[in-house]
Amino acid sequence: MSLSSDVAQEDTGRLAGWNRQASLILDLVLWVCVLAAGCGQASAKSHDTGSTGFASYAMAPGEEPLLKFRDMTSPRYSAKALPDMIREPQPHLGVSVYYYRRRHHRTTSHKVKGYVRHHPRLHPFWPSPRPHNVTGPSLVDRDTALSGGPGRYIWRRDIITTIFWIGERPRGNNPVPNARSSWDRYWYYDYGGYDDPDPGSRRDFIPVNFVPRQNPFYFALPYNDVEGGHTKYEASQVIPWFRHAFVRDGQTVLKNRWIAIHHGDRVCYAQWEDCGPFRTDDWRYVFGNERPRPNLNQGAGLDVSPAVRDYLGLGIKDPCDWKFVEFRDVPPGPWTRYGDNNTFVILRRQGNKGFAAE
């Protein structure tokens, strides 16, 4: 074989190698172009979504409009503004953007969706603590619910009131045993025993055979903010104190809240410890301005304990007025004496511990 043929074969091999390298570079350039085009479309959509904010920013005085336009259309602006513009209407999408910005090692779309679904609250773009499924406008008129602001609630007038007690067995129009409450499966034991409603078995508003470990002045209203272990959709919209009291999904913000109950010339105060009568979904009555739903007890909308009955002198189905009150508005009375759940008792114990420490 001649020297010229060897040179020709060597040149052919080099050319083939260069072609392969050029092909790889060209493929890489094409992928970059495709990704850039996709980012450009996403950026354009995000600016369309936030067109109002875009226009107001561009028209604001202080800088040259062209410089502002350059900044707002740059990738840096798009990456910064997109989560802000979509944070409220689409929080999951905002978290998805953060997922990419932080350069997580999982980048496929189905993994991103799974990550966002299971870790939404770990990201700084997640809004203030509240159930993640709460969206949309308020479901109840805040003026009706608050009557002028927190701590100033309206009276619900002429509400048929029935008597119930811890340890009550199912009978007649009461199909549910009261050994456990909507929020305490060991209610009977935590209270200390059977809250006997027989007036002859009671003294000073408590049973004669034991001192209750919870407040004997308790009541039930037909709404529960928790269902199936999760906070209900409407809870954050209808409960006036929800934002201040919410801790985590599935934990009630209703238990131990105080109400005032008026009958005749007396007013009694009690704590919310169970849900009923009959229903646990009537937020339109409990927090709105509707009447209780019809039921077997003449439309009763409030259950109260034997202690409340005795203080107010109630009969079996007497009408009462009631309203929510803040703890600071609860005056001294027999409702302040007993109970590990009683706000007054808790504060007294804390004060005694502080005094003993000194």
Tell me which residue range forms the domain holding 188. 142-357
pTM of the model: 0.60
Count other C-beta atoms under 10 Å from residue 121's C-beta. 12
Tell me: do 236 and 347 sit in the same domain.
Answer: yes
Tell me: do 108 and 248 sit in the same domain.
Answer: no
DSSP code per residue over 32-78:
HHHHHHHHHHHHHHHHHHTHHHHHHHHH-TTS-HHHHHHHHTSHHHH
**Average pLDDT, stretch 116-121?**
46
* Phi-psi sector, 350: left (phi>0), alpha (psi -120 to 50), beta: alpha
Instruction: Please give the mean pLDDT across all residues of the chain.
Output: 75
Rounded Cα distance between 152 and 329, Å, is 10
Among the candidates 94, 122, 150, a domain finishes at 122
- Residue 319, in any domain of the structure: yes
- Residue 130, in any domain of the structure: no
- Residue 273, in any domain of the structure: yes
- Residue 344, in any domain of the structure: yes
What percentage of residues in the chain have a pLDDT greater than 90?
A: 52
Longest Cα pair distance anywhere in the chain, in angstroms?
126
Range from 112-126, 187-201, 231-245, 281-295 carrying the lowest mean pLDDT: 112-126
Tell me: pLDDT of 103 over 60: no
pLDDT computed for residue 270 by the predictor: 98
- Residue 134, in any domain of the structure: no
pLDDT computed for residue 151 by the predictor: 55
pLDDT computed for residue 110 by the predictor: 52
pLDDT computed for residue 173 by the predictor: 72
- Residue 128, in any domain of the structure: no
Among the candidates 87, 122, 157, a domain finishes at 122
pLDDT computed for residue 301 by the predictor: 97
Q: How many domains does the chain have?
A: 2
SS3 300: coil
Measuring CA to CA, which residue among 330, 353, 197, 189 is closest to residue 272? 330
pLDDT digits (tens, 9 = 90+) for 186-214: 999 999 999 999 999 999 999 999 999 99
- Residue 137, in any domain of the structure: no
Tell me: pLDDT of 249 over 90: yes
Token digits of residue 141: 């008129």
Which amino acid, 295? N
CATH number reported for the structural domain that contains residue 181 in this entry: 2.40.40.10
Tell me: do 230 and 319 sit in the same domain.
Answer: yes
What percentage of residues in the chain have a pLDDT greater than 70?
A: 59
Tell me: do 92 and 154 sit in the same domain.
Answer: no
Tell me: do 281 and 327 sit in the same domain.
Answer: yes
pLDDT digits (tens, 9 = 90+) for 132-167: 434 333 444 433 333 334 557 999 999 999 999 999
Tell me: do 207 and 347 sit in the same domain.
Answer: yes
pLDDT digits (tens, 9 = 90+) for 320-333: 999 999 999 999 99
177 confidence band (pLDDT: 50, 70, 90): confident
Tell me: do 245 and 310 sit in the same domain.
Answer: yes
Tell me: do 108 and 207 sit in the same domain.
Answer: no
Tell me: do 112 and 246 sit in the same domain.
Answer: no
Tell me: pLDDT of 64 over 70: no
353 confidence band (pLDDT: 50, 70, 90): confident
Tell me: do 162 and 72 sit in the same domain.
Answer: no
Range from 24-33, 150-159, 210-219 carrying the lowest mean pLDDT: 24-33
Range from 20-29, 75-84, 179-188, 194-203 carrying the lowest mean pLDDT: 75-84
Among the candidates 122, 153, 175, a domain finishes at 122
- Most trustworthy range by pLDDT among 41-45, 168-172, 207-211: 207-211
Tell me: do 85 and 168 sit in the same domain.
Answer: no
- Residue 112, in any domain of the structure: yes
Tell me: do 245 and 343 sit in the same domain.
Answer: yes
pLDDT computed for residue 334 by the predictor: 98
